[in-house]
């Protein structure tokens, strides 16, 4: 058996593991990267990249239907579903070289294409190779959680790992779960000609601000997506027409296909963590803010498997935290929060505290600023005036922002920077931004903080009248 003794062994070649491996080897560390599946992990192959490519196809189809408001005759597009999937595959193929084994071996990383498992707290085996590294980083990500609904084990259900390979258009797609994945796939498939029903046991988009989520849900319903909230599925079975779902109130829904989008769970099953002395829970590896295992000091975890926010950009940020610690010996901690976006149309974005969280934490010290996209000239010009910006302000500084509207994912970066730098709302209100842009919503929201003080202040009005009489 081959034995390798690198400075660092990274288990998992998803976005986080690749960022860490590339940074570490270029800074002079010897690195072994182990991946039993596809290079690029979930994000490239079954997550972020294919979902955004599918959403782009749906957006192109919807543009053909919605030209009437611009004086352009709307037409129903002819959707070649298999060709749409070719588009998705070509997008993945265009990005894949950046994440490829050849590229990383060219950087100097030793890449092993096999499944890794701990044999003891100091060693990991991958196929016929034993790795005795100074440090191990687990970056195995997560995969779809399948709820224990009676009958589901007998169904050919879809998850994000299989739906992008489906080349035949579903006649009626049932989606189990009303979170970001479920809603993105619902809108994409509806726009591509499928009937779609989303089933959510609680509130759809329940993690986001209710006011902003309502904007998105109203648009999805207007496009024909059926959304059932507050009712769980109690039984599933295969029928002639496809899949039958019995809901908690006894009602029955029948669809041709079932997509399970009911959350994610950390991918730890193959790792034999018990042998490695690595403690974990249902949420993932048990780590501190420094991402280091609390039970095996040679081991770190990053990304989805570290038990925190499950986003590609969080995994990338974790790579920086680990580089500072492992390579430079500097203290570093992972950020407690990060922005997130649901890429429906309109988009839904959040950073920092929601209104409910801020009110619970700060009580009467909280000021909530609101501005509508209907008051933004660029949004009006593009017929995208339905949307909302909410900013949570405490003691003159923003602590959270929620946006539902066009390009919310781009606009949330402004507020992420403001919160990270503890910028004063007055500084933001004083910015000069180009006109007409959607970014002006930030200035308008910031300015609202001072509106009541300036325009509803009797004392100030008396001062202004006095100045007008006395100053020549």
Same domain, 171 and 234: yes
User: Which CATH number fits the domain that encloses residue 205?
Assistant: 3.50.50.60
Cα 421 from Cα 427, distance rounded (Å) = 12
Instruction: Rounding to the nearest 10 degrees, give the CA dihedral for residues 343, 344, 347, 349.
Output: -50
Same domain, 303 and 450: no
In this predicted structure, what is the pLDDT of residue 181?
97
Q: Is residue 366 part of a domain?
A: yes
Cα 185 from Cα 51, distance rounded (Å) = 7
Same domain, 234 and 378: no
List Cβ neighbours of 434 (8 Å cut-off, separation of 6 or more).
Answer: none
Same domain, 178 and 313: no
Beta strands in 16-141 (DSSP E): 31-34, 110-112, 116-120, 123-126, 129-131, 135-138
Q: Is residue 76 part of a domain?
A: no
Strand, coil or helix: 110: strand
User: Number of folded domains in the chain?
Assistant: 3
Q: Is residue 336 part of a domain?
A: no
Same domain, 137 and 272: yes
In this predicted structure, what is the pLDDT of residue 454?
64
Domain range for 277 is 2-39+100-144+265-327
List Cβ neighbours of 322 (8 Å cut-off, separation of 6 or more).
Answer: 20, 137, 291, 300, 302, 332
Same domain, 239 and 283: no
How do the pLDDT tens digits run along the chain, 472 residues long? Answer: 899 999 999 999 999 999 999 999 999 999 999 999 999 999 999 999 999 999 999 999 999 999 999 999 999 999 999 999 999 999 999 999 999 999 999 999 999 999 999 999 999 999 999 999 999 999 999 999 999 999 999 999 999 999 999 999 999 999 999 999 999 999 999 999 999 999 999 999 999 999 999 999 999 999 999 999 999 999 999 999 899 999 999 999 999 999 999 999 999 999 999 999 999 999 999 999 999 999 999 999 999 999 998 999 999 999 999 999 999 999 999 998 899 999 999 999 999 999 999 999 999 999 999 999 999 999 999 999 999 999 999 999 999 999 999 999 999 999 999 999 999 999 999 999 999 999 999 999 999 888 766 666 677 677 777 778 787 7
- Residues 342-356 as b/e (b if ≥16 CB within 10 A, e otherwise) read bbbbbbbbbbbbbbe
Same domain, 12 and 131: yes
Q: Is residue 108 part of a domain?
A: yes
**Pairing status of strand 397-405 against strand 388-394:** antiparallel
Same domain, 188 and 172: yes
Same domain, 258 and 269: no
Please, which residues bridge with residue 391 across strands? 369, 401
Same domain, 109 and 9: yes
CA dihedral for 375, 376, 381, 384, sign (positive or negative) = negative
**Pairing status of strand 142-144 against strand 264-266:** antiparallel
Query: Pick from 364, 420, 367: which is nearest to 391 by CA?
Result: 367
List Cβ neighbours of 292 (8 Å cut-off, separation of 6 or more).
Answer: 299, 300, 325
In this predicted structure, what is the pLDDT of residue 455?
63
Cα 463 from Cα 150, distance rounded (Å) = 72
Beta strands in 67-214 (DSSP E): 110-112, 116-120, 123-126, 129-131, 135-138, 142-144, 172-176, 195-200
Q: Any idea which residue has 């860490």 for tokens? A: 20
In this predicted structure, what is the pLDDT of residue 460?
66
Q: Is residue 449 part of a domain?
A: yes
Q: Is residue 339 part of a domain?
A: no
Same domain, 272 and 254: no
Q: 0.75 exceeded by the pTM?
A: yes
Q: Is residue 274 part of a domain?
A: yes
Query: Pick from 19, 45, 15, 3: which is nearest to 109 by CA?
Result: 19
Q: Any idea which residue has 């169904």 for tokens? A: 155
Q: Is residue 341 part of a domain?
A: no
List Cβ neighbours of 45 (8 Å cut-off, separation of 6 or more).
Answer: 37, 38, 92
Q: Any idea which residue has 């072994």 for tokens? A: 32
Please, which residues bridge with residue 116 across strands? 126
Q: Which of 229, 246, 262 is the last residue of a domain?
A: 262
List Cβ neighbours of 328 (8 Å cut-off, separation of 6 or more).
Answer: none
Same domain, 278 and 168: no
């Amino acid at each position: 058996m081959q034995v390798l003794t690198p400075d660092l062994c990274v288990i998992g070649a998803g976005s986080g593991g690749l960022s860490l491996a590339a940074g570490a080897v270029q800074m002079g560390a010897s690195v072994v990267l182990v991946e039993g599946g596809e290079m690029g992990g979930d994000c490239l192959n079954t997550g972020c990249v294919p979902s955004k490519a599918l959403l782009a196809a749906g957006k192109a189809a919807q543009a053909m239907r919605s030209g009437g408001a611009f004086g352009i005759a709307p037409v129903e597009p002819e959707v070649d579903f298999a060709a749409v999937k070719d588009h998705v595959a070509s997008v993945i193929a265009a990005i894949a070289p950046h994440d490829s084994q050849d590229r990383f071996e060219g950087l100097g990383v030793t890449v092993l294409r096999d499944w890794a498992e701990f044999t003891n707290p100091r060693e990991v085996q991958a196929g016929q190779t034993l790795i005795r590294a100074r440090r191990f980083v687990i970056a195995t990500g997560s995969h779809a959680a399948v709820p224990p609904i009676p009958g589901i084990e007998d169904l050919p259900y879809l998850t994000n790992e299989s739906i992008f390979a489906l080349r035949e258009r579903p006649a009626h797609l049932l989606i189990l779960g009303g979170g970001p994945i479920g809603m993105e796939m619902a809108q994409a498939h509806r726009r591509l000609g499928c009937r779609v029903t989303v089933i959510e046991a609680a509130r759809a988009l329940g993690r986001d601000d209710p006011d902003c989520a309502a904007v998105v849900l109203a648009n999805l319903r207007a496009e024909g997506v059926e959304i059932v909230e507050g009712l769980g599925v109690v039984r599933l079975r295969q029928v002639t027409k496809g899949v039958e779902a019995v809901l908690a109130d006894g009602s029955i829904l029948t669809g041709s296909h079932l997509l399970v989008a009911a959350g994610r769970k950390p991918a730890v099953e193959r790792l034999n963590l018990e042998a490695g002395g690595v403690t974990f829970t249902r949420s993932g590896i048990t780590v501190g803010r420094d991402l280091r295992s609390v039970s095996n000091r040679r081991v770190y975890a990053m990304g989805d498997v570290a038990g925190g926010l499950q986003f590609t950009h969080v995994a990338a940020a974790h790579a920086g935290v680990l580089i500072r610690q492992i390579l430079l010996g500097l203290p570093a901690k992972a950020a407690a929060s990060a922005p997130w976006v649901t890429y429906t149309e309109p988009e839904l974005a959040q950073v920092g505290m929601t209104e409910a969280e801020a009110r619970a934490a700060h009580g009467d010290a909280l000021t909530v600023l609101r501005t509508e996209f209907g008051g933004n000239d660029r949004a009006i010009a593009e017929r995208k005036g339905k949307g909302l910006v909410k900013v949570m302000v405490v003691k003159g500084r923003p602590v959270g922002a929620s946006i539902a509207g066009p390009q919310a994912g781009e606009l949330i970066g402004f507020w992420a920077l403001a919160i990270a730098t503890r910028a004063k709302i007055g500084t933001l209100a004083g910015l000069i931004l180009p006109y007409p842009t959607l970014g002006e919503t930030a200035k308008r929201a910031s300015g609202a903080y001072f509106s009541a003080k300036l325009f509803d202040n009797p004392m100030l009005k008396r001062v202004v009248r006095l100045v007008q009489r006395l100053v020549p």
